Amino acid sequence: MNKIEHIGIAVKDLEKSNEIFAALFGKSHYKMEEVESEGVKTSFFQVGSNKVELLEGTNENSPISKFIEKKGEGVHHIAFSVDDILSEVARLKKEGFIVLNEIPKKGADNKLVVFLHPKSTNGVLIELCQEIA
Ligand code: ZN
């Protein structure tokens, strides 16, 4: 596993939060993207060598909408970049972590992503991501 690639933050209103985080970081987001399969709209900020991803659910069944309903807005996941997502998944399964989707899916920002269940990681949703070549 390599560096933290981004931190995902669940928000209710992406437009409003874009303004808040632009003020916080002193610069605007560099892209917005909708991932229809996940029911989310995202925006990305580059902060030094890391990124911050804001996520808004686009319908009430979206994992983000459900998260906000249960826990309110806030940090939703931490994403780590990996070189070989399939071998990382195999390694982590062997270590006993619960993998939410064993087959990597296409996430935002041109990445293949796999999530680990927070039950097996002290309550933190972990995303593995590998840049699509
Ligand atoms: Zn993410």
The pLDDT tens digits for 86-109 are: 999 999 999 999 999 999 999 888
Q: Is the Cβ–Cβ distance between 6 and 53 less than 8 Å?
A: yes
Please give the pLDDT value at position 109.
85
> How far apart are the CA of 55 and the centre of ligand 1, in A?
8
Dihedral sign for Cα 59, 70, 102, 112, please. positive
| Å from CA of 94 to ligand 1 middle | 24
According to the model, what pLDDT value does residue 133 have? 82
Q: How far is the CA of 90 from the centre of ligand 1 (A)?
A: 20
Distance 127 CA to ligand 1 centre (A): 6
How far does the centroid of ligand 1 lie from the alpha carbon of residue 46, in Å? Answer: 13
Instruction: Return the SS3 of 103.
Output: coil
Residue 38 has pLDDT above 90, yes or no: no
Best CA proximity match to 133, nearest among 72, 83, 89: 83
Query: What spacing in Å lies between the alpha carbon of 95 and ligand 1's midpoint?
Result: 23
- 81 in Cβ contact with 129 (< 8 Å): yes
Per-residue pLDDT at 107: 86
Pairwise CA distance, residues 3 & 21, whole Å: 22
Distance 53 CA to ligand 1 centre (A): 6
Rounded Cα gap, residues 7 and 112, in angstroms = 16
Q: How far apart are CA 37 and CA 24, in angstroms?
A: 30
